Amino acid sequence: MAHIKKRWDLLCWLLVAPALGTRIFCTLYPILRTVYDSLFQINKIRRINRFNGIGNYIQMLQDTNLLDTIQFTAIFTIASIALHTLLGVGLALLLNAQFRGRKVLRSVVLIPWATPLVVAGIAATWAFNDMYGFVNDLIRRVLPSFSCDWLVGLATARWAVILVDVWKDTPFYAIMILAGLQSIPADLYEAALADGSGPVSSFFRITLPNIAPLMCTMTVFFSLWRLTQFDLVYAMTQGGPGTSTSLLSYRTYIEAFKNLNFGYASAISVVLCLFMVVVAAAGFRAKKHLDFET
């Protein structure tokens, strides 16, 4: 009997092996190769390929443009996540309410999420144009003398990028939270109502604690997606003005595929990966704590 089970296990492993091998090759090999390449100075244009040790990492510390990029990547991630959380939970609460047309609204709100980000980015370039854009056109219906070159100013360009990102993915965040809201037993709210609890109190004492673990998980994944955001900057600002809206992924892409500086690009990728590991570890630790408490 034992040897039949062993054979069966072996057969299972054999059947899974091709898929597993492909997955390992497509994931593990690129990671290891990138770490390896980050220790070399590799430039295809100048045909250089020599061991550099931690030279690329030292260069990163001296590269002021890259430090600006790291700064905005952090700002972008934190601001975007904060807005996603606030607006996403708000939208989820709205979609959870009972009103006519709720089902249609739940479908309609997903349209931004279904729009390819490159398309959204190119459209946003025109949307935020002072002369031709609908953003300023809408504002001018309230403030007729309003004028703002969104993509020219450092702060306004950053906000424009963050707002487009929030517009794009908040519906998806909201739908995930909505699923969590619908899993909260209704009798909890009934009991709270019987005890004289109002809607605000119910939200903070019932709703929020029940969806907190889900929010934590969503925050981890959304943070990782923000850290690796590329399409939006590529299509909308190319990292400008200056380097004020440059993100780490975009900078990696430029170094690798425009400057053919693969060693330096690999080093930036490794650093980005380390940031992601830290964020993921912190997030899952927090979730563990929340799971324990709930």
What is the distance between the terminal CA atoms of the chain, rounded to a whole angstrom? 44
Residue range at the interface with another protein (CB under 8 A); choices 90-98, 146-154, 205-213, 274-282 = 146-154
Closest alpha carbon to 44 in 270, 255, 269: 255
Task: Give the total residue count for the chain.
Answer: 294
CA distance 147 to 143: 9
Decide if residue 3 touches another protein (CB under 8 A). no
Cβ-based nearer residue to another protein, 92 or 265: 265
Decide if residue 261 touches another protein (CB under 8 A). yes
Binder of another protein out of 259, 284, 285, 294 (CB under 8 A) = 259
Residue range at the interface with another protein (CB under 8 A); choices 42-50, 179-187, 205-213, 277-285 = 42-50
Decide if residue 289 touches another protein (CB under 8 A). no
Cβ-based nearer residue to another protein, 57 or 113: 57
Site string for another protein, 210-249 (x = CB under 8 A): ---------------------------xxxxxxx--x---
Tokens of 18: 């091709």
Annotate 4-66 with DSSP letters as a single string. Answer: HHHHHHHHHHHHHHHHHHHHHHHHHHHHHHHHHHTTEEEETTTTEEEE-TTHHHHHHHH-HHH
Shortest Å distance, C-beta 189 to another protein: 49
State how far Cα 183 lies from the chain centre.
25
> Contact, 134 vs 150, CB < 8 A?
no
Decide if residue 49 touches another protein (CB under 8 A). no
Question: What residues line the site for another protein (CB under 8 A)?
Answer: 43-48, 59, 64-65, 125-126, 129-132, 149-154, 157, 237-243, 246, 253-254, 257-261
